[in-house]
Amino acid sequence: MKRQTMKAIIVDDEEPARNLVREFLSAHRNIEIIAECANGFEAVKAVTEQYPDIMFLDIQMPKLNGFEVLELLDELPAVIFVTAFDQYALKAFEVHAADYLLKPFTQERFTEALNHALKQFEHNKHYSVKNLLADVKPESEIRERILIKEGSKVLVIPVEKIDYIEAQDDYVSLRVEGKSHLKQQRLSLLEEQLPKHMFVRIHRSYILNIERIAKIELLAKDSRAALLKNGTTLPISRTGYEKLKEML
């Protein structure tokens, strides 16, 4: 049975690294390179618009790193991580990705990784972004920015610019400079990743940047609300008030 042609993209901020992957791929006629990306923004756009079957993905890149690229994708192609840093969870890569390549790598090792990806492709086996990131990203990572994909565009929002965050089913709505941005993520998970000195969960549906508080209003017995500097009013639960008192 003739092997189906596989569409590939190469993502690496270093041109020599992209050239090497391209050179090694030239020996495989069933692989078509449809895009080469020098940064994570280009990678997200290419995957969203061109639907590759396999992605050779560098981890350490400026602007967006490899993990952030994956976070912004709704569906994953087969992923071969390319990294110069062996401190990452390589066992997780073996389980949830097609394979990984530790720089510098030989053509033999490259072919081995590619064969793993081809088998994944033939069996139509794609791992979820959620499962992959759960194993390869640090559990206690504190975010300095939030990434949101709108179409093929990527918004990078520094956390200090966020006024508050509201839960909306499986999404969160980030209120930033008078605009709302939706991100598919649970509020409880995002709460764990935000700087604790800056953000507090004031209600089951709201996380607040404490720098935005103008005053706390007593509405009735044990019923309070936060009045923000922009005029927005948010409810405060009893638990949320206890947390606020500790921070203010």
**Three-class DSSP category at 133:** helix
Residues of the chain with CATH 3.40.50.2300: 6-136
Residues of the chain with CATH 2.40.50.1020: 145-247
pLDDT-derived band at 81, boundaries 50, 70, 90: confident
- Range 88-100 average pLDDT: 58
- Range 176-180 average pLDDT: 93
Nearest alpha carbon to residue 51 among 71, 32, 28, 29: 32
Nearest alpha carbon to residue 55 among 84, 86, 31, 28: 31
Given a cut of 50, whether residue 24 has pLDDT beyond it is: yes
- Range 159-164 average pLDDT: 97
- What the block records as the tokens of 49 is 């618009």
Place of tokens 């097609």: 98
Residue 238 confidence (pLDDT): 92
- Separation CA 31–CA 33 (nearest Å): 6
Residue 35 confidence (pLDDT): 97
pLDDT greater at residue 160 or residue 2: 160
- What the block records as the tokens of 243 is 């947390």
Given a cut of 70, whether residue 229 has pLDDT beyond it is: yes
CB 98, CB 117: distance < 8 Å: yes
- Separation CA 195–CA 159 (nearest Å): 8
- Residue 140 identity: S
Q: Using a pLDDT cut of 90, give the percent of the chain over it.
A: 55
CATH number corresponding to 145-247? 2.40.50.1020
Alpha helices, H only, 137-218: 187-193
Class of 6-136 in CATH: alpha beta
Residue 95 confidence (pLDDT): 45
The C-alpha angle 11, 87, 137, rounded to 5 degrees, equals 65
